[in-house]
Every structure is written in structure tokens, then in C-alpha cells.
Amino acid sequence: MPKIAFVGAGSMVFATKLVGDILSFDELNDSTIALMDVDEHRLEQTTRIAEAMVENEDLDATIESTTDRVDALDDADYVMNMINVGGTEPFENEIRVPEKYGVKQAIGDTIGPGGIFRGLRTIPTMLDIASDMEELCPDALLLNYTNPMSILCQTMFEATDVETVGLCHSVPHTAEAIADYVDVPEDELEYWVAGVNHVAWFLEAEHDGESVYPDLREAYDDEETYERDTVRFEMMKHFGYFPTESSHHMSEYVPYFRTDEDTIEEMTGTDYAERMPTATYLEGWQARSEERDDPELGVDLDEVGVERSEEYASRLIHSLETDTTRRLNLNVSNETNAIESLPTDACVEVPVLVDGTGLRPCSVGELPKSVRTFPQQHVAVQQLVVEGALENDREKIHRAVKQDPLTAAELTLPEIHEMTEELLTKNEAYLPALR
């Protein structure tokens, strides 16, 4: 009976999805699930739904709820991390300050000024969690869901002894989209994907032993299909491979799509009509935050049941606990040289074999020349951010922002420096003590 701690469990919709995933396995539905959050109201909401799942399905799981991280982590076997550090103020700064200078971020949680500063404000708390885990549950596996995925996981690899793996749903979501675009059953699509989180590529995608890329290229020419995923189809057309992150995300990882409003409007397709504009994630997050603060739960507890989603976490835990072999796309250290064209100290997203013996990253070799520079550039930025945070080096943070592709496409070096200084000043209370 493993103990699984959820740190940041006040993210009700996502946390309860993961709880339901775990409880959906017969071998895991007697687990102890320790829910932890600093927000008592949101924690209570998640706890009520989790308890209803156990009661309605007549399961043997134990649900614990606490605002004390030490209690949640004590003797845990697995730790799910889904924290959000700082709340609204720094998030607004990360989007609105760059917007004032002309850097138009739609999401701002992975790279760019938004992703960099989100990483900086989250790293100190991640290190605190690691310190607690090293004392309270040194053999536990940390499953990180918090963005920026690569920056946070690389920090854990370099600065802690905690075994860490990063989980993201972008690969299964993209597989679902590709299967839809080429009209094949999703469960029959075979694929091989590698890169870094949110900037990985479907190197192979096959159905019945045949590549679906010819059909994907035909889908590009179908206006209705193209309008559903404009940026990703453009990236495939010009660079040969379909990327793993959605169009509104992908648009801010490269310098081609967000430097003027006309291009943003032109690339806004039917599925992303409300997502491509600047600050769309911030505004949606604020609206959802207000809903979560509503004293009414908004869920019929009598109807709550257990379902299994596409998320990897429960499958990963099930494989480790039952010695069931699976291949999952996970974020791991490149210390085994899984991707030869990226540094061995980078965080990479690659196929990983998982069973009772642990996690074994698959060897991908070199990424294709046409796309390898994209993750290489992002890894360089991520490494500067991690080094800057761990060494309290203000200059490395400046250099990281200056190497961001979208920022560099929009601003001069003096403008980037001024923008970064403003972000450092406004968010000082949430950041490491940079010199």
C-alpha cells in the first residue's frame, strides 16, 4: 500500500483527476493519498471530492488532508508536485511587463520572460520540498507536473539527491490530435518522440507500419484542418516534423509568429480563437481562480466516480509497483546521453521504459538537423536560468532572457536588459537573492 503525497493539491480539477487515475487501478486503490496545500479552502474542495470517490466506489484507499507539508511527505513513497508559487501578482508581472515592451506571450509558463521568471520564483520552494524529502522520504520518487518543467527538473537534478521525473500530457494530447487529423484510431498510432518539454518532435508516427506523415502533409492543405492547428502545421511544413506542444504554446517558443498583431490574428485558427492573443492564459487563470474561490463546490458528490485519464502518473506508479512494463514519454536527465545532440546535464523529454526495476531512458541518438537547433537553444537558456538561480547570479538571468528566441526577435539588447531589470525589481520578493 504505497503512500502518495500531493503537494499543491488545491489545484482541484487536476489533483482530483490524478487521484481518480490512481484509484482506477485495482493494485493501487488501497493507497494512502496525502493531500497537501497551503490554501485551506481549495484543499478542502479537493479532499471532499477524493473522499467521495473512495466512498462511492467502496474502495480501501485512505485520504489524508493537511496544510503541513511535513505531515504529507513523512514516509511517502511518491510525491506529486503541482504547486503554484506567488499567486497573481508575479504572474501578471511576467506577462504584462514584457507586453509593455512588445513581447507578446500567450502562455508564458515554459520559456521566454514568463517562463524564466516563473521558474525563478518556483525554484526556492522546490529546493525546500527537496530538503524535506531528503529527510522525511529519501527513497521517494518526485513526479513533477509544475512548469517550467525543464528548468525545475534540471534544478532538482543538479542541486538535490531527490530522484525526479517530469510528467507532461503534451505527447499523448498531440498523438490524439495527429490521429484525428489523419483519421486513424488513436490507440493504433505508433510514435517515437524526443526533444525537450514543449519543444519535442514526432520523429516517427505510423499506422499499420506506414508513416502517417504523407497524410499529415495532405491535412495541411485542407483549410478546415489547417485552421485547427495553424502554428504546428507551419512548423511541420518548414522543418519536416510535427511538434508536441499546441499552437498557442508553440507560437511563443520560436521567433516567427508573435512579433506583430497581424501575424497573431492570421495564425489564430478555429480551435485556438481565444488562446493565441497575448495574456490569454493569465486571463483564463484569473477567471478560473475566482471560480475556485467560490464557497460552493459546484460538484455533485453523489455522482463522483473513478475514471482513468491520459495522464502518465498513475501508469508510472502502477508499473513501478507491479513490475508492468510500459513505455512513457518522460522528462529525465540526459546523463545517459539519450539525445546525443543535447548536453548530458540537460533535462530531455524522451521515451522511457518503466517497470519494477525503475526508469530507463531510451537512446534516441541525434535529433534531425532540421529541428535540433530549437531544443538546443532552449536548453542553453534553461541552463543559464538554473545556474543563475543556484549561484544567485543576476547577470546569468539577464543573459538567459537575451537568448530567448521570441524576446530577441522583438527587442534590442538594451531593451531586453531594461525589461529584465524591471521584472527583477517588481518580482524581487518572490525570487532568489540575486546579486
Distance CA 409, CA 388 (A): 23
Find out whether 365 and 340 touch, Cβ atoms under 8 Å. yes
Distance CA 223, CA 225 (A): 6
Active site residue 249: no
Cβ neighbours of residue 188 closer than 8 Å, sequence gap 6 or more: 179, 207, 208
292: number of Cβ within 10 Å: 17
Q: Using the CB atoms, write b or e for 65-88: b if 16+ within 10 Å.
A: bbeebeebbbebbbbbbbbbbbee
**Which one of the listed residues 41, 169, 198, 318 is annotated catalytic?**
169
Find out whether 172 and 308 touch, Cβ atoms under 8 Å. no
**3-class SS at 66?**
strand
Distance CA 186, CA 122 (A): 35
Find out whether 382 and 346 touch, Cβ atoms under 8 Å. yes
The grid coordinates of residue 109 equal 509558463
Residues known to be catalytic: 169
